[in-house]
């Protein structure tokens, strides 16, 4: 491991030298992948007594090339350099404060940005900032030996269930209570200002103001290694349109009720997950200015992984995702081009994220997605390369409602077959503070697309952390 002073020198050199803007879905997918990697920086080393502080940085340089799917715009190439600086304080196993800032430099090849500028600095911005109170540190034995009660407030990563409904960074509070094998969570949060809204047909769809209230009940280690759970989320739309659109109101208030389970079977070689979600609420239809229509939508998300014992860590996995569509919707998310006035809105929309491929990356609304893949560490017996992982996934996409639109507006034909995709990836943690990786995917459009030309996506990155 390199010393901190050495990493500071590397950071200075990186800053002196020299994909993120393809679609909202692709930007969000990339950011959530990075958030998962960054979660480990939030785990602060604690002391039984006294005060402890820690700090560090996370730097990733990424090169990306992708096809837009539009013949006239062709392939785009860009590089982004993402810097996160963090610090944390921990006091007497009771109080924890964590703050992380972010700045990103994005550089496109000449003419490849959709806007006029070819490079841009985004930030510095506040990435995360939260305070956690652990009641066990205050109450001690009065709380009970098998109970914990934690309150976290601030800008934080929140998810419920499998992440299909809710999975992002929010400003808010989370209360978590554990007693024995029962875990209860409650959240109250709002979307982060400056994030894109679900509805891009709104006059100011590049920002959002939505509130979320929810809870989850989970039974851990139920029937050996099974974990059933229930959750509910209420989402309220508080966006204000500026300017107003004549004869068109915008509102999407939704409620989600989910049930699922995760667990392990067959001597813990088989890991599974399954979740069903029912969505109701109300939404404004295309051309409606006063009376909203009811939402009645459904979704499924399930998967399985089979682990082969051995140093190669061979893993076979599959996933099934289905989210209902609305036959009247040209756009699954927008109000303009959305549901027909006077009919139920049966299109499923949510505020989470699940992996649906790197080249196509559709939102799940009005789609059935089937995926199968394999991954391994082929050189697991070689000490220097034992953490090198290779993998591949194949996807198949079909419409739920054949006449309705999907998140890719280029799929204009009323055909069920949306297409197929093949992805491959490499991930190698060379040291505790150095990792490299890459992804490649190719999407083959189906009958729903007038243009059958394939789309490719390729990215490679280098990550430093200290």
Each residue's pLDDT tens digit, 420-449? 999 999 999 998 889 999 999 999 999 999
Compute CA 411 distance to the chain's CA centroid, rounded to the nearest angstrom.
24
> In the beta sheet, which residues pair with residue 37?
none
Query: What are the backbone angles phi and psi of residue 135, rounded to the nearest 5°?
Result: -65, -25
Backbone torsion region of residue 112, taken as left when φ is above 0, otherwise alpha when ψ lies between -120 and 50, otherwise beta: alpha
The answer to whether 283 and 146 are in contact (CB under 8 A) is: no
The pLDDT of residue 25: 57
Calpha distance 60→39 (Å, rounded): 15
Calpha distance 258→232 (Å, rounded): 6
Query: What are the backbone angles phi and psi of residue 6, rounded to the nearest 5°?
Result: -65, -40
Strand-pair category, 293-308 with 270-283: antiparallel
pLDDT band at 119 (very low <50, low <70, confident <90, very high): confident
Calpha distance 366→299 (Å, rounded): 10
Calpha distance 214→232 (Å, rounded): 5
**pLDDT exceeds 90 at position 122:** no
Top-confidence residue, 140 or 335: 335
**pLDDT exceeds 60 at position 3:** no
Could you please report the per-residue DSSP string of 42-57? G-----SSSEEEEEEE
Calpha distance 400→294 (Å, rounded): 19
The fold of the 4-465 domain, in CATH, is Porin (2.40.160)
DSSP H/E element including 85: strand 75-91
Q: CA–CA distance from 144 to each of 91, 220, 388 (Å)? A: 21, 18, 44
Q: How many helices (H) and strands (E) does the chain have?
A: 3, 18
Each residue's pLDDT tens digit, 31-89? 666 766 676 666 665 444 567 888 999 999 999 999 887 766 678 898 999 999 999 99
Calpha distance 76→388 (Å, rounded): 29
In this prediction the pTM is 0.88
Residues in the chain: 466
**pLDDT exceeds 80 at position 464:** yes
Least confident span in 48-62, 117-131, 205-219, 289-303? 48-62
The pLDDT of residue 153: 97
The pLDDT of residue 43: 65
Domain boundaries in the chain?
4-465
pLDDT, mean of residues 397-413: 94
In the numeric block, the tokens 């077959």 are attached to 417
Compute CA 465 distance to the chain's CA centroid, rounded to the nearest angstrom.
21
**pLDDT exceeds 60 at position 138:** yes
**pLDDT exceeds 80 at position 115:** no
In the numeric block, the tokens 């080249």 are attached to 359
The answer to whether 56 and 11 are in contact (CB under 8 A) is: no
Each residue's pLDDT tens digit, 77-109? 989 999 999 999 988 778 999 999 999 999 888
397 burial level (CB within 10 Å; 0-12, 13-18, 19+):
buried
Calpha distance 359→154 (Å, rounded): 34
Counting residues of the chain whose pLDDT is more than 70, the rounded percentage is 86
Cα maximum dimension of the chain? 68
Could you please report the per-residue DSSP string of 387-438? TEEEEEEEEEEEESSTTS--SSTT--S--SEEEEEEEEEEEEEEETTEEEEE
pLDDT band at 19 (very low <50, low <70, confident <90, very high): very low
Counting residues of the chain whose pLDDT is more than 90, the rounded percentage is 63
């Amino acid at each position: 491991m390199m010393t901190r002073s050495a990493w500071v020198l590397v950071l200075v050199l990186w800053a002196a030298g020299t994909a993120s803007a393809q679609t909202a879905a692709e930007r969000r997918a990339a950011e959530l992948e990075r958030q998962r990697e960054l979660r480990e920086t939030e785990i602060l080393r604690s002391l039984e007594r006294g005060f402890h502080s820690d700090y560090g940085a996370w730097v990733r340089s990424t090169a990306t090339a992708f096809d837009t799917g539009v013949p006239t715009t062709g392939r785009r190439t860009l590089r982004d350099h993402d810097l996160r600086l963090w610090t944390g304080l921990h006091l007497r196993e009771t109080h924890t404060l964590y703050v992380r800032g972010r700045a990103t430099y994005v550089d496109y090849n000449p003419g490849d940005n959709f806007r006029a500028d070819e490079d841009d600095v985004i930030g510095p911005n506040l990435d995360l900032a939260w305070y956690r109170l652990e009641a066990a540190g205050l109450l001690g034995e009065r709380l009970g030996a098998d109970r914990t009660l934690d309150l976290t407030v601030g800008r934080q990563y929140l998810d419920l269930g499998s992440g299909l409904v809710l999975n992002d960074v929010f400003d808010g509070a989370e209360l978590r209570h554990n007693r024995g094998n029962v875990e209860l969570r409650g959240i109250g949060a709002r979307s982060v200002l400056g994030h894109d809204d679900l509805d891009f047909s709104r006059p100011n769809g590049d920002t959002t103001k939505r509130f979320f209230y929810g809870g989850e009940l989970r039974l851990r280690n139920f029937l050996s290694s099974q974990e059933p759970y229930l959750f509910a989320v209420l989402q309220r739309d508080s966006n204000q349109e500026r300017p107003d659109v004549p004869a068109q109101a915008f509102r999407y208030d939704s409620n989600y009720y989910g049930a699922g389970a995760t667990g392990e079977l067959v001597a813990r070689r088989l890991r599974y997950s399954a979740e069903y979600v029912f969505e109701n609420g109300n939404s404004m239809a295309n051309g409606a200015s006063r009376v909203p229509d009811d939402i009645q939508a459904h979704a499924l998300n399930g998967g399985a992984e089979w682990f082969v014992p051995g140093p190669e860590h061979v893993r076979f996995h599959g996933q099934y995702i289905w989210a209902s569509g609305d036959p009247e919707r040209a756009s699954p998310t927008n109000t303009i081009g959305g549901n027909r006035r006077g009919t139920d809105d049966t299109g499923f929309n949510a505020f989470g994220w699940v992996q649906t491929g790197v080249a196509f990356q559709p939102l799940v609304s009005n789609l059935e997605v089937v995926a199968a893949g394999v991954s391994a560490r082929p050189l697991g017996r070689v000490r220097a390369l034992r953490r090198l992982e290779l993998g591949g996934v194949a996807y198949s996409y079909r419409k739920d409602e054949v006449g309705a639109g999907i998140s890719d507006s280029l799929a204009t034909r009323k055909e069920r077959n949306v297409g197929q995709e093949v992805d491959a990836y490499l991930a190698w943690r060379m040291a505790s503070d150095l990792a490299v990786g890459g992804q490649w995917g190719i999407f083959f459009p189906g009958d729903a697309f007038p243009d059958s030309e394939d789309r490719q996506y390729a990215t490679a990155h280098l990550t430093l952390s200290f």
